[in-house]
Every structure is written in structure tokens, then in C-alpha cells.
């Protein structure tokens, strides 16, 4: 008879190994446990290339249906329809993943039962991200499960999460009490290699245990290392240390992708939480490449048969002894140790790209093994094209609405720029017309310029010919002149002419010097005469006044003839000094003439008349 989980070995001292609920006998006809709840998660696209290729799947989360649109093996293949317990699309965050996948399993473990979370999928589909991510705001299922166990709320990981704090069985609804973490909590970390060798990552050693011995978990409880932990950080520290050691023992990503990792958390010696990340499904070798039986593929096949047995009927006992993987997961898949209120979640991670359609179809088919038979048959027998069309139209409408909103925003933001662009286009159009006109004028001017250039070239040629002729004539004349000068230059006649020319030049120079002397003497005489004339002009008016006064005295005495003679002489002096054209002299001359004429007739009037015309008024 197999040992129950947590039972003492005969004759052994009390052990600090964790205690878990007792298991039923492997031969018991009554199967305990429900089927695994299957949740599909579609990995978000990370690059623009992936977004362009992400058309392999269409989802209807409301009806929990998925359509696979691409089949690389069959051209123009019809879509395949799959039904799941929940469908997590690309935009779903880590908090929603934990709420759907991890929270029910953790709640079952806290309630003293068995909770299990299994991740299945190909490499690069996000299994590690969904389970083991520790980045702030993107914490995975394991991190949130630990927070829920040790602090009572997974919402502490992300305060903005809408996940409500779960109600504990010992805490009535509506009451707020201080949460007390369960104690003790013990951790074990196992690695099931591709060759089905079990490795304890905390103890860093292999465990020589068969699949049959693993059933009931008695050998596992006594053979593997269990670490008592009291906080989330302590668990993560143990796991990180074990992962580092794993990298040294099993280097290379290919070796790690072909291994199953299982984290066991024994909670208060009552509940058991299993977090299993299965090997990548694409690590299974194809049948053509296998030299012998592939144990990794056999472990997947055994797990699939166990899941299928639970989904078909509770009366069928799952073949948990078929492999070490199913033996380790036996308490969660209806084997020994299973409990009626336990919960198992199977998380399927797939890639939405058409290039990954093969591995995606394989993952979807594996997940269908845990779906109820009736639901599975209904989903795969007929494709709900109406729902698929409605889903595609809804996606199209959502995208068109988003595009319309984006277009409105872009137009609102870019309207000034668009108006400016339109104005610039109009300006460019006008400039293009002006440019075309300018180009036409340029071509016209070029044509005219070509004609003018041709004419100029003709004139240049004519001018060149004429210049050539003139240069030839000048050259001939110069040659002739040089010949004449050469003939005259050395002759006697030329010497006589030169001598005569020198004599003429000398005579002309003497004559010029004589003329210059004469001019200088004439200028000196003229200056002297002008000086004498100036002096005379200064003296003559006074003499004229004296003669006029004397003539006046003779006139007063009745001696008219002497007075007339003196007046005439005074007038002659004034004319000689100032010229006969002076108007005053002409008037004086007329008065003198009148006085002389009347002198002989009237003596007294003559005196009166001469006194009125005093010659002193006509001084220069």
C-alpha cells in the first residue's frame, strides 16, 4: 500500500517535511477532481513587422470562441473554431491574467486544497512573461500569487488594478481585519529534464525517483529539499539563486526550453500550490529526426491523456503513472492527492502571427483536450461564421472609428499647416506659370540671341577680313616709309635740312625773346601812362571848377566873352577827363551854350543864370 502524503516513515524520527492532505489510493475507482480550466492568452505584438503579420487568430471573448484563420499545411483552408473557458486578447494586462488564471488556484490552496497553474506553449509566446515577470506594473502570476499569500491582496502589486481583495473563508464579508499570513509556507523547486531525470534545484542534485514512487508524493516529500519562507522577496531570492545554478548545470536556451519546471508551495501543512511551466511545445523533435523514443513528447502525450480523461468523465481514472510529469501533477489532475474543491488552470500561450500558425494550431489542439467533450465537438464540428463575421465587422468598425477619430484629430491639429500648404501650392502654381512664361521668353530671347550672335559672327568675320586688309596696307606703308626714311636718313640733303631747321629754330627763339622784351617795355610805358592819366583825372576836375568860378566872376562883371571862353575851356577839360558821353556834361554843355548866347543881350539875367548852374555840382 502506498504511503499517504506527509506520512512518517517506519522507525524514523519526526520530520520537518510539510504535511499535505492525505491522498486516495491509486487503485481507488472514485476519481476526485474537476477538469482543468483552459484559458487562452494571445501574446501582444512587439514590433511593426509582427503587427502586420498578426492575423492568424480572431477572438470573441464574450462567447469564448477563437478562430484559427491560417494553416501553413493546407492552402485556402477554412477557419477552425475552438472553445475555451476564457480568452485573453492581446490588450489584456497581467492583472487580468492573474484574476482569470492564478487567483482561483491560490484561493483553493489558501482554503486548504490543491491549486495548480500550468503554462503551455511554444517558445516566444510569453510563458515566462506571464508567470515569472517581476517588472513593476507588469508582475506575473507567481509574483501576484505570493503577494496574495503573504499580504492577503494581489492588488498591492499594482494599486491601480481593479482586482478586488479576495474574501478569506475565516473572514466574513464586510469585515476588515488585519491579515495574518499562513504559516508555515514551504518552498520546493524541481526541474524535470528532457530525459525525464528529476532535478532538485534548491538542493542542486538529482532525485532517483520513479513515476510510480512519485504518486502519492511520499517519496517526493522525503527526498526533495523544502525551504521555509516568510515573504515574497524570500521566495524570489531562493528561485533566483536556483535559476543561476540551473544556468551553470544546464547552459543554453535549447536545453532549458526542453525542461519542465515545477514550483511547489506547501501552505500551512494543508494547502498545496503548484506552478508548472512546461517545456516549449516546439522543443519536441519531429518523428523523422528521432532515433529513439522521445520522452519529452511522451510526457506531453501522457498529460494530454490525463486532461482528456477528466474532461470526458469523472469515472475514468487519469493515467497519472504514465510519466513523471503526470505523477508530479497528480494532485491537480485527478490523481492521488486530488481534492474535490481543488482548482487547476491551464494557460495556453500562443503567437498571433501567421508565420507561427503551425505551433499555434498545435497549442490550440492540446488545450482542447481539457475542454468538455460536448463543447469540444460542437465547436469543432461547425464553424459559427455568423459570430466570426460579426467579430470581424466589429473589429473593422472599431478600427474605422479609431481611424476616423485620429483623422479628425490630425485635421484639427494640422489644419493651419494644411491651409498654409494649400496657399503655398497656389503660390507654387502661380510661380510655375510665371516660370513657364519666363522659360518661353528665355527660349525666345535665346533664339533672337542666336540670330544676333550669327549676325555678329558675320560682322566679326567681315571686320576680321577688313582689319587683316588694313593691317596688310599699314604693314606695306610702314615698310615703304622705313625704306624712304632709310634712303633719306644718311644723305647729305637730310643733314643740310637738319642744319637749316636748327638755324630757323634759333632765329625764331631770338625773335621771340626780342618780342618779349618789347612787350615788357610797352607794358611798363602803358602802366606809367595809366598812372599819369589817373593823376590827371584827379587834378582836372579841380582845375575845371577854378576855371568855372573864374568864368562866373567874369560873367558877373559883364565880361561875357572872357566868361564864355573860360566856360568852354572848363568843359573841354571835363570832356577830356570823363568823356563827352557823360549825361551831366551834355546838360552842362547846353547850359553853358545858353549862357554864352544870352550874354550879349542880358547882362543881369546872365548873372542870375550862371549862379543857378554852379559847375561844382558836376564834380567827378
Cis peptide before 184 (omega within 30 of 0): yes
Q: Check residue 227 and report its DSSP letter.
A: E
* Lookup: cell for 566: 573860360
For 495-509, what is the mean pLDDT? 84
- Of residues 521 and 175, more confidence is placed in 521
Q: What's the pLDDT score for residue 428? A: 92
Residue 607 has pLDDT above 50, yes or no: no
> How many CB atoms neighbour CB 163 within 10 A?
17
Q: In the prediction, which pLDDT does 379 show? A: 54
| Rounded mean pLDDT, 208-223 | 77
SS3 198: strand
Mean predicted confidence (pLDDT) in 244-271:
80
Q: Does residue 354 register a pLDDT over 90? A: no
User: Span 37-66+81-162+179-282+292-347+354-383: which CATH code?
Assistant: 3.40.850.10
The cell numbers describing 93, all together, are 494586462
Cα–Cα distance, 205 to 486 (Å, whole number): 132
**DSSP summary character for residue 323:** S
- Give residue-wise pLDDT tens across range 101-160: 999 999 999 998 999 999 999 888 889 999 999 898 889 999 999 999 998 876 654 433
Question: Which of 23-32, 255-264, 538-547 comes out lowest in average pLDDT?
Answer: 23-32
> Which pLDDT value is given to residue 347?
94
- Give the integer Cα–Cα distance in Å for 566 and 397: 145
The mean per-residue pLDDT over the stretch 522-534 comes to: 83
pLDDT at residue 151, as a whole number: 86
Locate the DSSP E strands across 280-431: 343-350
How high is the mean pLDDT of the chain?
Answer: 77
pLDDT category of residue 212 using cuts at 50, 70 and 90 = confident
Cα separation, 124 vs 283, whole angstroms: 12
What backbone phi and psi angles, to 5 degrees, belong to 368?
-65, -20
Amino acid 380: pLDDT: 60
Cell of 366: 492540446
Name the pLDDT band for 344 (thresholds 50, 70, 90): very high
Tell me the C-alpha distance between 329 and 44, whole Å: 29
Cβ 295 vs Cβ 20: under 8 Å? no
Give the tens place of pLDDT for each residue, 158-197: 433 444 444 444 444 444 567 788 888 999 999 998 888 8
Q: Is the dihedral of CA 251, 252, 255, 256 positive or negative?
A: positive
Most confident of 36-40, 395-399, 407-411, 583-587: 36-40
Per DSSP, helices labelled H in 67-193 are: 94-97, 103-110, 127-132, 141-151
Beta carbons of 145 and 156 less than 8 angstroms apart: no
CA distance 22 to 270: 10
Torsion of CA 435, 436, 441, 443, to 10 degrees: 110
* Torsion 46-47-51-56 (CA) sign: negative
Residue 72 pLDDT: 52
Tell me the β-bridge partners of 205: 200
Residues of the chain with pLDDT > 70: what percent?
73
Give the residue extent of every domain in the chain. 37-66+81-162+179-282+292-347+354-383, 496-618
Burial call 550-564: b when 16+ CB within 10 Å, e when fewer = bbbebbeeeebeebb
Give the mean pLDDT of 330-353.
Answer: 86
Residue in 267, 270, 280 with CA at minimum distance from that of residue 188: 267
The Cα 350–Cα 359 span in angstroms is 8
What confidence tens digit (pLDDT) does each residue in 268-318 have?
888 899 999 998 888 875 444 554 457 888 899 999 988 888 887 665 788
Pairing status of strand 205-207 against strand 227-229: unpaired
Task: Label residue 51 by pLDDT band (50, 70, 90).
Answer: low
- Take residue 73 and report the three cell numbers written for it: 499545411
Instruction: For 489, list phi and psi in degrees, rounded to 5.
Output: -60, -40
Position 228 scores a pLDDT of: 92
Residue 82, pLDDT > 70, answer: yes
**If we measure between CA atoms, which residue out of 307, 361, 339 comes closest to residue 125?**
361
For the chain, the distance separating the N- and C-terminal CA atoms, rounded to the nearest angstrom, is: 178
From 235-244, 420-429, 534-543, the region with the lowest mean pLDDT: 534-543
Q: Which residues contact 162 (CB under 8 A, 6 or more apart)?
A: 95
Amino acid at each position: 500500500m502506498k504511503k499517504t502524503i506527509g506520512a512518517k516513515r517506519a522507525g524514523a524520527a519526526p520530520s520537518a517535511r510539510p504535511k499535505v492532505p492525505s491522498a486516495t489510493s491509486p487503485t481507488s475507482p472514485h476519481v476526485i477532481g474537476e477538469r482543468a480550466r483552459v484559458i487562452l492568452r494571445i501574446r501582444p505584438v512587439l514590433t511593426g513587422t509582427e503587427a502586420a503579420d498578426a492575423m492568424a487568430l480572431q477572438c470573441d471573448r464574450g462567447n469564448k470562441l477563437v478562430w484559427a484563420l491560417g494553416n501553413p499545411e493546407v492552402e485556402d483552408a477554412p477557419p477552425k473554431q475552438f472553445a475555451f473557458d476564457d480568452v485573453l486578447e492581446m490588450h489584456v494586462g497581467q492583472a487580468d491574467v492573474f484574476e482569470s488564471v492564478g487567483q482561483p488556484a491560490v484561493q483553493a490552496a489558501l482554503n486548504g486544497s490543491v491549486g495548480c497553474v500550468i503554462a503551455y506553449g511554444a517558445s516566444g509566446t510569453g510563458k515566462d512573461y506571464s508567470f515569472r515577470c517581476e517588472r513593476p506594473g507588469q508582475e506575473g502570476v507567481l509574483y501576484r500569487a505570493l503577494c496574495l499569500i503573504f499580504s492577503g491582496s494581489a492588488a498591492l502589486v499594482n494599486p491601480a488594478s481593479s482586482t478586488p481583495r479576495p474574501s478569506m473563508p475565516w473572514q466574513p464579508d464586510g469585515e476588515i481585519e488585519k491579515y495574518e499570513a499562513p504559516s508555515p509556507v514551504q518552498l520546493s523547486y524541481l526541474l524535470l529534464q528532457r530525459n525525464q531525470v528529476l532535478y532538485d534545484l534548491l538542493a542542486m542534485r538529482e532525485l532517483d525517483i520513479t513515476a510510480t514512487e512519485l504518486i502519492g508524493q511520499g517519496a517526493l516529500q522525503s527526498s526533495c529539499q523544502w525551504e521555509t519562507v516568510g515573504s515574497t522577496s524570500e521566495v524570489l531570492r531562493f528561485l533566483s539563486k536556483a535559476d543561476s545554478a540551473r544556468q551553470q548545470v544546464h547552459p543554453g536556451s535549447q536545453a532549458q526550453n526542453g525542461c519542465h519546471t515545477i514550483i511547489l508551495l506547501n501552505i500551512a501543512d494543508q494547502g498545496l500550490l503548484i506552478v508548472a511551466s512546461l517545456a516549449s511545445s516546439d522543443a519536441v523533435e519531429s518523428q523523422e529526426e528521432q532515433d529513439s523514443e522521445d520522452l519529452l513528447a511522451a510526457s506531453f502525450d501522457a498529460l494530454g491523456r490525463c486532461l482528456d480523461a477528466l474532461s470526458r468523465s469523472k469515472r475514468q481514472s487519469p493515467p497519472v503513472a504514465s510519466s513523471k510529469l503526470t505523477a508530479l501533477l497528480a494532485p491537480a489532475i485527478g490523481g492521488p492527492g486530488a481534492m474535490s474543491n481543488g482548482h487547476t488552470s491551464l494557460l495556453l500561450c500562443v503567437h498571433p502571427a501567421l508565420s507561427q500558425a503551425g505551433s499555434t494550431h498545435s497549442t490550440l489542439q492540446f488545450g482542447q483536450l481539457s475542454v468538455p467533450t460536448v463543447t469540444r465537438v460542437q465547436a469543432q464540428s461547425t464553424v459559427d461564421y455568423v459570430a466570426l463575421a460579426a467579430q470581424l465587422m466589429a473589429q473593422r468598425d472599431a478600427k474605422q472609428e479609431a481611424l476616423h477619430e485620429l483623422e479628425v484629430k490630425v485635421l484639427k491639429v494640422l489644419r493651419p499647416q494644411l491651409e498654409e500648404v494649400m496657399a503655398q501650392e497656389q503660390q507654387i502654381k502661380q510661380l510655375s506659370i510665371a516660370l513657364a512664361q519666363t522659360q518661353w521668353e528665355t527660349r525666345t530671347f535665346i533664339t533672337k540671341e542666336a540670330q544676333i550672335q550669327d549676325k555678329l559672327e558675320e560682322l566679326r568675320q567681315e571686320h576680321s577680313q577688313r582689319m587683316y586688309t588694313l593691317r596688310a596696307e599699314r604693314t606695306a606703308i610702314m615698310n615703304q616709309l622705313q625704306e624712304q626714311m632709310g634712303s633719306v636718313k644718311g644723305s647729305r640733303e637730310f643733314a643740310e635740312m637738319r642744319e637749316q631747321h636748327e638755324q630757323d629754330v634759333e632765329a625764331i627763339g631770338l625773335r621771340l625773346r626780342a618780342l618779349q622784351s618789347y612787350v615788357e617795355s610797352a607794358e611798363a610805358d602803358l602802366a606809367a601812362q595809366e598812372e599819369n592819366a589817373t593823376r590827371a583825372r584827379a587834378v582836372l576836375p579841380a582845375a575845371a571848377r577854378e576855371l568855372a568860378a573864374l568864368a562866373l566872376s567874369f560873367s558877373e562883371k559883364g565880361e561875357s566873352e572872357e566868361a564864355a571862353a573860360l566856360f568852354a575851356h572848363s568843359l573841354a577839360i571835363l570832356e577830356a577827363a570823363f568823356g563827352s558821353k557823360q549825361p551831366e556834361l551834355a546838360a552842362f554843355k547846353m547850359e553853358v551854350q545858353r549862357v554864352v548866347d544870352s550874354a550879349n543881350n542880358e547882362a543881369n539875367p546872365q548873372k542870375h543864370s550862371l549862379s543857378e548852374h554852379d559847375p561844382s555840382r558836376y564834380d567827378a
